[in-house]
């Protein structure tokens, strides 16, 4: 393995959309330095694990995968193992170095620099190119010529994630993200627009703007500083002008930061999809206060009403945590009743998992039994399946616009999403990748739809 051979790399990713975006950017940086992707870790000279620790189940998967890499390292000691993401965090990973001695390099979230430096030290990549790449990312600017997709995604990727806010400063009591990803930082608007333009030039038709609280985009930027507008609505307006860009989405929102300006912008800009992801987390005010969410259940009801008033036909998705410390059956029932009342399009239900360093883990005992957490999760899942099924059934015999993102190899069905984020499958012999098509819905379930192509949009 040497510079002239081309380092073969493999990246394994678990977690949120931000992790997926970080892995994509790492792959792009590696390929700029001459590295080559491989499908299996056994084939790789360099293996990177991009990790999630938002819940214990995700962290356990990471530990399992780390353990499986130890024999690979022992068989080929020159093989490089990198650990990236929220397990590493933004602080000194000394305890991790002691625990996982077979890991060579540790990368904080969204920071490929330590790995690039390591490859230079080992003489595996061109030093001048690596320094240029590191400096570009240190200054948080797009490389000359725009963001280049990894080889495996060029000409195939229809929908791409674009991080616009890194980190978070809100500090909900249950959330480990501020401790692992650091404080909130908005990327300059000029950089985001340049990246979006580069993605579109490579065939991407849809972008999703990412932030832990995406509505807070620009709050930390001074007026006019480095090209940054003062609001997410302003950024959406700039991106809307990119000609070949067909759709724009954004997530995740926060009830306290979703402004009428943003909602009106979604309604007024045709390319911005009528899809809002705004977590409620609980339907009981005491639980919300212990979570430090900053709003009440009544506030959330009013927000949903505002969304539906300003964006007719919008889909609304939410997140809910069950079994938060101290949550009684009566408090859980208030959450159940809220979801039953609001009838949202999607609800992602998770069991509470205490996370080290968080205020909830330090202040509140994890006193809801695991079997009770699971019972509550299943109850909400069943409720949401019923609601989603009824919402989707209204689309039977209706024609919807679908952006086609791929083809199922086994069933040979094309798949894509509507503007309101409904997953649609259809069979057709044509090449529909990246196309907007009208599909008449012939079958509707709670999680997906099936239809027939009518015509290209």
Beta-sheet strand order (sheet of 80-85): 36-37, 8-13, 46-51, 80-85, 105-107
Are residues 110 and 257 both part of a single domain?
Answer: no
pLDDT score of 18: 95
Pick the closest to residue 265 from 306, 244, 234 (CA basis). 234
Asked, for residue 335, whether it belongs to a domain, the answer is: yes
What's the whole-number mean pLDDT along residues 178-191?
94
Pairing of strands 36-37, 423-426: unpaired
Are residues 289 and 170 both part of a single domain?
Answer: yes
Are residues 424 and 451 both part of a single domain?
Answer: yes
Between CA 430 and CA 410 the distance in angstroms is 17
- Here the CATH number for the domain that contains residue 421 is 2.40.50.140
pLDDT for 132 beyond 70 = no
pTM of this structure: 0.93
What's the whole-number mean pLDDT along residues 281-297?
98
Per-residue pLDDT band at 140 (split at 50, 70, 90): very low
Between CA 36 and CA 46 the distance in angstroms is 10
What's the whole-number mean pLDDT along residues 353-369?
95
pLDDT for 450 beyond 60 = yes
Are residues 423 and 381 both part of a single domain?
Answer: no
Asked, for residue 143, whether it belongs to a domain, the answer is: no
pLDDT in tens, 68-82: 999 999 999 999 999
Tokens representing residue 284 in the block: 């009981």
pLDDT for 29 beyond 60 = yes
Q: Tell me which of 373, 393, 413 is where a domain ends.
A: 393
Are residues 354 and 243 both part of a single domain?
Answer: yes
pLDDT score of 455: 79
Are residues 52 and 173 both part of a single domain?
Answer: no
Asked, for residue 145, whether it belongs to a domain, the answer is: no
The residues near 267 (Cβ < 8 Å, ≥ 6 apart) are: 274, 310, 311
Q: Tell me which of 340, 367, 393 is where a domain ends.
A: 393
Asked, for residue 322, whether it belongs to a domain, the answer is: yes
Q: Tell me which of 104, 138, 172 is where a domain ends.
A: 138
pLDDT in tens, 80-103: 999 999 999 988 788 899 999 999
What's the whole-number mean pLDDT along residues 253-271?
96
Between CA 237 and CA 58 the distance in angstroms is 36
Are residues 269 and 362 both part of a single domain?
Answer: yes
- Here the CATH number for the domain that contains residue 239 is 3.80.30.20
Asked, for residue 146, whether it belongs to a domain, the answer is: no
Per-residue pLDDT band at 144 (split at 50, 70, 90): very low
Owner of token pair 């943003």: 262
Per-residue pLDDT band at 135 (split at 50, 70, 90): low
pLDDT for 137 beyond 60 = no
pLDDT score of 155: 87
Are residues 83 and 205 both part of a single domain?
Answer: no
H-only helix segments in 247-404: 260-268, 285-291, 297-310, 329-342, 359-363, 370-393
Are residues 241 and 347 both part of a single domain?
Answer: yes
Are residues 198 and 316 both part of a single domain?
Answer: yes
pLDDT score of 5: 65
Q: Count Cβ neighbours within 10 Å for each residue of 1-19 and write b for 16 or more, e otherwise.
A: eebeebbbbbbbbbbbebb
pLDDT score of 136: 58
What's the whole-number mean pLDDT along residues 257-273?
96
Pick the closest to residue 334 from 285, 379, 278 (CA basis). 285
The residues near 369 (Cβ < 8 Å, ≥ 6 apart) are: none
What's the whole-number mean pLDDT along residues 265-282?
97
pLDDT in tens, 330-348: 999 999 999 999 999 999 9
Count of domains for the chain: 3
- Here the CATH number for the domain that contains residue 109 is 3.40.50.12160
Asked, for residue 144, whether it belongs to a domain, the answer is: no
pLDDT for 143 beyond 60 = no
Between CA 5 and CA 131 the distance in angstroms is 20
Between CA 345 and CA 340 the distance in angstroms is 11
pLDDT in tens, 213-233: 999 999 988 665 444 457 999
End-to-end CA distance of the chain: 49
Are residues 283 and 349 both part of a single domain?
Answer: yes
Per-residue pLDDT band at 128 (split at 50, 70, 90): low
Pick the closest to residue 258 from 217, 292, 314 (CA basis). 217
Are residues 216 and 281 both part of a single domain?
Answer: yes
Indicate the average pLDDT of the chain. 92
Q: Count Cβ neighbours within 10 Å for each residue of 195-222 and write b for 16 or more, e otherwise.
A: bbbbbbebbbbbbbbbbbbbbbbbeebe
pLDDT for 142 beyond 50 = no
Per-residue pLDDT band at 1 (split at 50, 70, 90): low
Q: Which domain holds residue 442?
A: 399-456
């Amino acid at each position: 393995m040497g510079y002239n051979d081309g380092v073969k790399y493999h990246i394994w990713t678990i977690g949120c959309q931000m992790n997926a975006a970080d892995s994509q950017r790492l792959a792009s940086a590696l390929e700029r330095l001459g590295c080559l992707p491989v499908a299996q870790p056994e084939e790789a000279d360099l293996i990177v694990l991009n990790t999630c620790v938002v819940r214990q189940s995700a962290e356990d998967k990471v530990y399992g995968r780390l353990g499986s890499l130890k024999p690979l390292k022992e068989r080929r000691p020159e093989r490089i193992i990198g650990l990236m993401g929220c397990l590493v965090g933004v602080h000194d990973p000394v305890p991790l170095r002691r625990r996982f001695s077979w890991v060579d390099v540790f990368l904080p979230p969204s920071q490929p620099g330590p790995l690039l430096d390591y490859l230079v030290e080992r003489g595996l990549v061109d030093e001048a190119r690596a320094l240029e790449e590191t400096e570009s990312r240190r200054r948080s600017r797009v490389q000359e010529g725009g963001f280049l997709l990894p080889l495996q995604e060029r000409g195939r990727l229809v929908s791409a994630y674009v991080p616009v806010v890194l980190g978070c400063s809100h500090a909900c009591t249950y959330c480990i993200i501020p401790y692992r990803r650091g404080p909130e930082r908005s990327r300059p608007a000029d950089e985001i627009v340049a990246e979006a333009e580069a993605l579109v030039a490579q065939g991407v038709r849809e972008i999703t703007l990412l932030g832990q609280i995406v509505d807070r985009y620009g709050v930390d930027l001074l007026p006019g500083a480095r090209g940054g507008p003062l609001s997410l609505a302003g950024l959406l307006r700039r991106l809307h002008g990119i000609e070949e860009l067909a759709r724009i989405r954004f997530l995740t929102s926060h009830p306290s930061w979703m402004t009428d300006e943003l909602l009106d912008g979604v309604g007024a800009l045709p390319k911005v999809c009528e899809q809002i992801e705004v977590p409620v987390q609980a339907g009981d005010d005491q639980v919300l206060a212990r979570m430090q969410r900053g709003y009440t259940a009544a506030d959330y009801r009013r927000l949903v009403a505002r969304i539906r008033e300003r964006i007719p036909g919008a889909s609304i998705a939410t997140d809910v945590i069950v079994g938060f410390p101290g949550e009684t059956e009566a408090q859980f029932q208030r959450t159940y009743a809220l979801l039953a009342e609001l009838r949202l399009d999607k609800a992602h239900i998770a069991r509470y998992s205490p996370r080290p360093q968080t205020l909830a883990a330090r202040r509140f005992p994890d006193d809801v039994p695991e079997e009770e957490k699971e019972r509550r999760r299943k109850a909400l899942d069943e409720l949401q399946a019923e609601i989603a099924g009824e919402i989707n059934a209204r689309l039977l015999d209706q024609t919807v616009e679908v952006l086609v993102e791929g083809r199922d190899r086994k069933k040979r069905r094309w798949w894509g999403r509507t503007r309101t984020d409904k997953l649609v499958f259809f069979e057709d012999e044509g090449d529909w990748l990246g196309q907007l098509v009208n599909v008449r819905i012939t079958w509707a379930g709670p999680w997906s739809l099936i239809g027939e192509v009518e015509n290209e949009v």
